[in-house]
């Protein structure tokens, strides 16, 4: 968009009219006319060519721009059209030396706000055009969301409204076509004087020839009722209407939500009435004695076009520009109205929040063009499977929503959800790329789950996050238990800030043993939280919270410092052959200062680098593979051990092994739990061990709890094991006694060394 100075608010002292005209006499005339009607409050800035005009528009606050039709070989219509394409919002008014209907029409099609004939120019007409053009721009900048029924848009099947004999009944005529500025509009004339009606009718017949679509009403109340039905393109209203007046009619109509174009007629010019008409929302003001067919034609056409421009702005403000579905503003307005309707009639409303499952991976892998193609495809599919009365909206990113009113039966809603999941499960193909998407859907119902817009959105959001924890594609209905969980999560988030200061966090250590020697060679540091109210909190519950709010950086630094402090104690006691595995969260790997923090902590406690093992889960690597990969390489260069935890639960595992040479892999406990009984899990474990050994890597089996599991792992030549069969997690003080008693070694020695 062209960043003109007019994008900033205009002050009364800095209001300027830009005149682009190469004729000095025209400049003097315009300046004199403006001075006559506006005095020093309005300044005329003169540009002798279009290029100079552009420079003024870029650097100065301009209220309106008067553009001469022809300057040398250049054309003002082309200039206006170009400025519109650049996003300039300054009203452009075309000036010509002689009235020409063809030029007038071309100017309007190019985006001109009005067209003035220099030969018929007066101070009053110039002031009126400037005021109404500026008022239109000011109104368009703050257009509120509107119900389509209140916009004054043409509609079919209009009932007859005082049809004059000889004209086609309104009820049998089609709505005006939105095909261009020359399409015959539907006009309602509100006039209580029959002679004035005949005069206006004859002028309109001259303008629109045989295509005139005119309805006539005399009564103020009947006119207001007809305007409320929004079945006409433009309303021409006489100022005098019996006991009432046209200004009050326009004011009442706009207060009821109508934003249709109104043209006010008066018997004689009155500036106070003119100003009042503009303030209440009239699009133009015409004096009956001065009306000609060209003037009335121009007033109607420009009024309708300005109204269409306002409606286009409304659509832009309410629609998502990428996908064409509603945006979050229209979504909230629609949901609010659906809830209000359900409250009045005792119905229900379903809100479905939809989050795409693999969108980030698609964006990172194939680029934003592919991501945009997915979003467009998803929006189109959602729109095809919902009812016409429902709404699809994009809330941002890869999150969509569907609002369904009049949901009276669960089977109907279930069927709708199934259809949505089916179409979202279909691959998206773009530029030869086949992309699997899938989605998770959270469902909340009014009034059962919530009674306000915000509460309903929050309930659907909780249900959606529950669905995301299930195998995709998945959906989940909101339940009260989700609110309890959310409240607990919020309480934990608040109290997590004080957990370090109040020494509620502590570390346990679970031993790891070599399978060949039976020797305990290391321990894994396991973080725990003893909450004063909720008791012992699992890391799987509070670590994700810490990652989201950033507390994981402080907590991670504390864990590292605590482990190094404990290692220093063990080293001083002669227990110097242990290494300690510390699980780092993905968020920590995005902190560029992490290597320096690790290095400084090791130096502070005089701990050797080979005694620390940096551990990260495979799923965390997938969040930021390049950044995490670079950090792991740096740790390897520092002499730190690197291990991949929960190995086998992600995808492209072989790729990860190749990316981190020398890493130790930990086979996830989910594969160990069912061996050797499960032939498929046994095959997976056998393959992982063989693949790791082929690459020169060592393997740790997690979650070993039964002797038959250990025998199988020994037979597969697994390097190390960790689990309850060896030892449960222990406080630091228990580790020396465990090593001295060689409890773990004796246990392993009692087991046969072959399966």
DSSP secondary structure of 499-558: HTTTT-EEEEEEEEEETTT--EEEEEEEEEEEETTTEEE-HHHHHHHHHHHTTHHHHHHH
d(CA 355, CA 748): 48
Report the pLDDT value the prediction gives residue 660, as an integer from 0 to 100.
Answer: 60
- Domains, the chain, with CATH or none: 5-140 (3.40.50.2300), 148-318 (3.40.50.2300), 328-478 (3.30.70.270), 506-749 (3.20.20.450)
Distance in angstroms (rounded) separating the CA atoms of residues 393 and 414: 20
CB 277 within 8 A of CB 247: yes
- Residues 293-306 have pLDDT tens digits of 888 888 888 788 77
pLDDT per residue as tens digits for the range 184-211: 788 899 988 888 888 888 888 888 876 7
Instruction: Assign 72 to helix, strand or coil.
Output: coil
**What pTM, to 2 d.p., does this model score?**
0.48
Sign for the CA dihedral angle at 414, 416, 422, 427 comes to negative
Name the burial class of residue 195, with classes exposed (0-12), middle (13-18) and buried (19+) by CB atoms within 10 angstroms of its CB.
exposed
Residues 667 and 597: their CA atoms lie apart, in Å, by: 29
CA 59 to chain centroid, in Å, comes to: 32
Contact 455, 462 (CB under 8 A): no
Contacts 24+ apart (CB under 8 A), 201-209: 201/164, 203/291, 203/292, 203/293, 203/296, 204/296, 206/293, 207/293, 207/296, 207/297, 207/300, 208/184
To which H or E segment does residue 411 belong? helix 410-425
Cβ atoms of 457 and 439 closer than 8 Å: no
Identify the pLDDT of residue 392.
93
In the structure encoding, which two tokens stand for residue 532, read together?
Answer: 């004063």
Distance of CA 450 to the CA centre of its chain: 23
- Interatomic CA distance for residues 520 and 579, integer angstroms: 10
pLDDT beneath 70: ranges in the chain: 1-14, 99, 132, 134-183, 210, 313-316, 408-410, 472-473, 618-625, 648-662, 741-755
Q: Name residue 443's beta-bridge partners.
A: 352, 477
Q: Which residues contact 384 (CB under 8 A, 6 or more apart)?
A: 423
Round to whole Å and give the CA distance between 635 and 695. 20
Helix count and strand count (H, E) for the chain: 28, 30
> What gap in Å lies between CA 9 and CA 77, rounded to an integer?
27
């Amino acid at each position: 968009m062209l960043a003109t100075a007019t994008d900033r608010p205009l002050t009364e002292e800095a209001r300027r009219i830009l005149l682009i005209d190469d004729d000095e006499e025209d400049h003097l005339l315009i300046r004199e006319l403006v001075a006559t009607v506006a005095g020093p409050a309005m300044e005329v800035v003169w540009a002798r060519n279009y290029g100079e005009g552009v420079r003024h528009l870029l650097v100065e606050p301009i209220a309106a721009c008067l553009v001469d039709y022809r300057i040398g070989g250049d054309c003002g219509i082309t200039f206006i059209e170009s400025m519109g394409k650049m996003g300039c919002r300054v009203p452009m008014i075309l000036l010509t030396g002689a009235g020409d209907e063809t030029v007038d029409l071309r100017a309007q099609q190019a985006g001109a706000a009005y067209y003035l004939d220099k030969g018929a120019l007066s101070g009053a007409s110039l002031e009126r055009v400037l005021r109404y053009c500026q008022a239109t721009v000011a109104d368009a900048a703050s257009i509120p969301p509107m119900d389509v029924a209140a916009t004054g848009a043409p509609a079919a099947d209009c009932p007859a409204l005082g049809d004059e004999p000889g004209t086609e009944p309104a009820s049998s005529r089609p709505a005006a076509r939105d095909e261009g500025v020359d399409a015959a509009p539907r006009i309602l004339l509100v006039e209580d004087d029959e002679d004035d009606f005949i005069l206006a009718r004859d002028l309109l017949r001259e303008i629109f020839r045989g295509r005139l679509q005119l309805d006539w009403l005399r009564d103020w109340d009947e006119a207001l009722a007809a305007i409320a039905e929004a079945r006409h393109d433009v309303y021409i209203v006489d100022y005098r209407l019996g006991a009432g007046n046209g200004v009050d009619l326009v004011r009442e109509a706009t207060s009821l939500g109508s934003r249709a174009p109104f043209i006010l007629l008066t018997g004689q010019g009155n500036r106070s009435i003119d100003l009042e008409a503009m303030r209440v929302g009239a699009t133009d003001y015409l004096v009956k004695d001065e009306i000609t067919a060209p003037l009335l034609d121009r007033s109607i056409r420009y009024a309708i076009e300005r109204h269409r421009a306002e409606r286009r702005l409304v659509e832009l403000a309410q629609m998502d520009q990428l996908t064409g579905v509603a945006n979050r503003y229209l979504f909230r307005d629609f949901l609010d109205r659906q809830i209000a309707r359900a409250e009045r009639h005792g119905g229900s409303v379903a809100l479905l929040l939809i989050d795409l499952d693999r969108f980030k991976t698609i964006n990172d892998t194939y680029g934003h063009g592919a991501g945009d193609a997915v979003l467009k495809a998803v929006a189109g599919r959602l729109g095809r499977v919902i009812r016409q009365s429902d709404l699809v909206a994009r809330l941002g990113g890869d999150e969509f929503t569907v609002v369904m009113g009049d949901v009276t039966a669960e089977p109907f809603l279930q069927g709708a959800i199934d259809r949505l999941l089916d179409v979202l499960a279909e691959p998206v193909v773009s530029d030869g790329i086949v992309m699997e998407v899938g989605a998770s859907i959270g469902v909340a119902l009014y009034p059962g789950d919530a009674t306000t817009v915000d509460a309903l959105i929050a309930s659907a959001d909780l249900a959606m996050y529950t669905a995301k924890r299930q195998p995709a594609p998945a959906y989940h209905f909101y339940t009260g238990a989700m609110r309890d969980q959310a409240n607990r999560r919020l309480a934990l988030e608040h109290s997590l800030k004080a957990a370090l200061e109040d020494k509620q966090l502590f570390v346990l250590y679970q031993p790891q043993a070599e399978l060949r020697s039976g020797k305990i060679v290391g321990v894994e540091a396991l973080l725990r939280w003893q909450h004063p109210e909720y008791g012992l909190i699992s890391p799987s519950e509070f670590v994700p919270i810490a990652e989201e709010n950033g507390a994981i950086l402080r907590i991670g630094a504390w864990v590292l410092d605590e482990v190094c402090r404990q290692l220093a104690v063990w080293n001083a006691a002669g227990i110097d052959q242990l290494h300690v595995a510390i699980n780092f969260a993905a968020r920590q790997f995005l902190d560029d200062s992490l290597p320096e923090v690790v290095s400084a902590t090791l130096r502070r406690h005089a701990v050797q680098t080979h005694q620390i093992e940096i551990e990260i889960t495979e799923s965390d690597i997938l969040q930021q593979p390049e950044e995490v990969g670079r950090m792991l390489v740096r740790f390897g260069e520092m002499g730190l051990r690197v291990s991949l935890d929960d190995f086998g639960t992600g995808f492209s595992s072989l790729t990860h092994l190749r990316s981190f040479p020398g890493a130790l892999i930990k086979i996830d406990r989910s594969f160990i739990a069912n061996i050797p009984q499960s032939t498929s899990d046994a095959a997976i474990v056998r393959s992982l061990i063989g693949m790791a050994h082929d690459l020169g890597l060592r393997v740790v089996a997690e979650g070993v709890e039964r002797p038959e599991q250990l025998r199988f792992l020994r037979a597969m030549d697994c390097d190390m094991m960790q689990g309850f069969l060896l030892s449960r997690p222990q406080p630091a003080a228990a580790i020396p006694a465990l090593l001295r008693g060689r409890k773990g070694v004796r246990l392993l020695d009692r087991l046969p060394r072959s399966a």
